[in-house]
Structure 1
């Protein structure tokens, strides 16, 4: 009877445990790349503002024009971490991941050229008007190569997720 009870407890624990995601699928990688683009532009806007160069209107225009797409991709990203770690730990992992994204841009340049480049990227991204494929194209053109913990699933995803091969 004890063995049966122990087996039932193990089965119940396994049934309620979060599904482990060994790698990132194409949608999750796209979500991470869009979030990376947003982080890059947000940090550039803050750096430029601190240097007295105003590009916030371009960043805010980008966010406003792409609000639904940004939210949708952010929700996908949160779901990735929740699937992997459960809701509570997944939120912590998500927060850590997005903080790492932003921190990668913290030491970037803040010259007038850097700020103008970021402003142009934000304006181009604004023109995507919620088109995720367009935002991914902008991320490619901006040279964004998002590293995802655990890596991407399969060789086909690597080519699709990292953009055009040169």
Structure 2
């Protein structure tokens, strides 16, 4: 829970999202989807360690399934506007595989123990924590900082 508090639970995620322009919302949805994929891939990678967090990932996924699905639907709609229905499905699959491949060798600055704590914290957190984590912990530098790793 320290991570969640450290990210400022006072943020009203719904208010922030509704105030964002559409392109910022799309980027936010993409980051949320990537966070879910990152946790799934790294939970599989860490499953044979003492820091196996597959159950924490399942709890996270169950807690945030509506938000994760909304992120996927938002990406699908945005891609449909550029590629049509069939092309959008292929593009979404391609993007999802790229996201997963980014974490195939692990997270760039979080180890299994830290990822386990993150998944556990997010399984108990709200949408604001989900948005903040997706902003701070992704590998591609879109705000990816080592905030959690320094905790």
TM-score, length of structure 1 as denominator length = 0.65
Unaligned runs of 5+ in 2: 1-21, 146-151
- Structure showing greater radius of gyration is 1
- Whole-angstrom distance in 1 between the partners of 2:78 and 2:89: 10
1:60 maps to which of 52, 58, 61: 58
In 2, Cα distance between equivalents of 1:77 and 1:146: 18
Contact 1:33 1:146 in 2 (8 A): no
Task: Give the Cα–Cα distance (whole angstroms) in 2 for the partners of residues 163 and 114 of structure 1.
Answer: 15
Instruction: Give the aligned partner of residue 11 of structure 1.
Output: none
Q: Which residue is equivalent to 1:153?
A: none
* Equivalent residue, structure 1, for 2:125: 128
The alignment partner of 1:25 has SS state of helix
Contact 1:35 1:70 in 2 (8 A): yes
Task: Report the Cα distance in structure 1 between the residues aligned to 2:44 and 2:100, rounded to whole angstroms.
Answer: 11
Do residues 70 (structure 1) and 65 (structure 2) align? no
2:94 to 89, 93, 96: 96
CA distance in 2: counterparts of 1:68 and 1:106, whole angstroms: 25
Structure 1 match to 2:34? 36
Q: How many residues align?
A: 122
Q: For structure 1, which runs of at least 5 residues remain unmatched after alignment? A: 1-23, 148-160
CA distance in 2, matches of 1:25, 1:140: 15
Q: Aligned in 2, Cα 1:105/1:90: closer, same or farther, shift over 3 Å?
A: same
- What is the rounded CA distance, in whole Å, between the counterparts of 2:136 and 2:117 in structure 1? 12
- For normalisation by structure 2, the TM-score amounts to 0.71
Aligned-partner Cα distance in 1 for 2:51–2:135? 25
Q: Confirm or deny: 8 A CA contact 1:39 1:101 kept in the other structure.
A: yes
The 8 Å contact of residues 33 and 145 in structure 1, kept in 2 or not, is answered as no
User: What SS does the aligned partner of 2:47 have?
Assistant: helix
| Match among 132, 136, 141 for residue 136 of structure 2 | 141
Write out per-residue CA displacement over residues 111-141 of structure 1, whole angstroms, 9 at most, x where no aligned residue: xx82111111111221224x1x321211233
Q: 2:79 aligns with which of 78, 81, 104?
A: 81
Question: Does the 8 A contact of 2:35 with 2:134 survive in 1?
Answer: yes
Q: Counterpart in 2 of 1:9?
A: none
